[in-house]
Structure 1
Amino acid sequence: MKIRKGGPDDVPAMLGMFDSAVAWLTEQGRTGQWGSTPFSTDAARIESVTRRASEGDMRIAEIDGEPAGSIVVGPAMPYVTPAPEPELYVQMLVIDRRFSGRGVGSALLGWAREEAARLGVGLLRVDCYAGDDGRLVRYYESVGFSRTVEFVVGEWPGQVLEMRISPADS
């Protein structure tokens, strides 16, 4: 697996990753997270992905030259209270379902942990969908994050999780 810097040219691949995730979630009857409409057909989601690709620090994980996942880090999302200390925030993480079970998410989160350490930032945070059976929250816990604050945006239940970073993590 190779992790490279991404940018606006990667927006079509990212939209494809989101589309594959939405299709899989829909097949599972789990539409609470992202609904059932493909990201690539939703103007607001296209704009959001495009903006984050331009403004944030994006990385693309590739397997055999194929984009397998993407992560964008930056400041906390506007619906989350910023931390009282410097932090790096996972704004977006998506894995193409074709590469499920191959460690793509863990590798990208490992890159984020290393990036936080490199920047001298002691806190890495992420938020995620906390509805249905809580599987996504448990995933983040399995890779070292701890639950902090629960929140709701509209009817969407969310969970903020954090990971402490030490300089030795770099």
Structure 2
Amino acid sequence: MSEQPIRLRVAAPADLPRLLELMDSVLSWLVARGRTQQWGDVPFSRIPGFPDRVADWIAQRVITLAERGTDCVGILAMAPVVPQRIPAGLVPASAMFVHTVMTERGPRGRGVGSLLMQEAERQARAASAPAVALDHWAGSDELQRIYHKHGYTPVGEYNDERANAPTRNVVQVLHLPST
């Protein structure tokens, strides 16, 4: 049986439970492997205010949902707003910022991350942005390799002090050639 194609679309309010379920399953996968440094171990759906933040992103139409059949297998949240935690000067003016990208960790998630990263670049070009930026946990060689493969370059690091234990993060930027 051939694998179902991946379909991308803008998330709708009715997708909120599926998005939170995917995010919780990714976190559970990380926790099961002892990788709590990036996001901790509290499910996203149980973090006070987080479901409301995702609902707000949905209302702003900044979430792209990846589906295989009726299954939610990926999420990309991207907007022209750089989070306040990012040190000034690291992200080019008018760049698009990837707030999160997550994919199902099983076989149904295969290829979804690359497709979402291509979608981030497509959306940035459509918005005439000069670059796409993102941040991620500095302790993940896997994330470094993934983003390098997609053309991102590290431009700086910072400590995220929001959690009980500071987390070291890397900011990476993909500069887009002007057309």
Q: TM-score, normalised by structure 1?
A: 0.88
Q: Render the CA deviation track for 1:117-139: whole Å, top value 9, x for unaligned.
A: 112111111111112x4322222
Correspondences of 1:158-169 after superposition (within 5 Å)? 158-166=169-177
Contact 2:92 / 2:130 at 8 angstroms: preserved in 1?
no
Q: Distance in 1 between matches of 2:69 and 2:144?
A: 29
For residues 53-132 of structure 1, the aligned pairs below 5 Å read 53-55=58-60, 57-74=62-79, 75-80=81-86, 81=88, 83-99=91-107, 102-131=110-139
Q: CA deviation at 1:55?
A: 3.0
Count of residue pairs the alignment pairs up: 167
C-alpha RMSD over aligned residues: 1.9
SS, match of residue 59 in structure 1: strand
Contact kept, 8 Å, 1:118 with 1:167, in 2: the verdict is no
Structure 2's unaligned 5+ residue stretches are 1-5
SS of structure 1 residue aligned to 2:106: helix
Segments of structure 1 that go 5 or more residues without pairing to the other structure are none
Which of 141, 153, 160 is the aligned partner of 2:148? 141
Q: What CA distance in whole angstroms lies between the structure 2 residues aligned with 1:85 and 1:111? A: 20
Judged with a 3 Å threshold, the aligned counterparts in structure 2 of structure 1 residues 26 and 86 are, in CA distance, closer, same or farther, namely same
Matched, 1:30 2:20: no
Secondary structure of the 2:65 match is strand
Moved more, 49-58 or 30-39: 49-58
Tell me: CA distance 1:53–1:137, structure 2 relative to 1, closer, same or farther (3 Å).
farther
Counterpart mapping for 1:11-50 below 5 A: 11-50=16-55
Percent identical residues: 26
Q: Which range moved further: 109-118 or 53-62? A: 53-62
- Counterpart of 1:137, as a letter, is Q
| In 1: Cα distance, 2:158 partner to 2:36 partner | 19
One-letter code of the match for 1:63? Answer: R
Structure 1 counterpart SS, 2:114:
helix
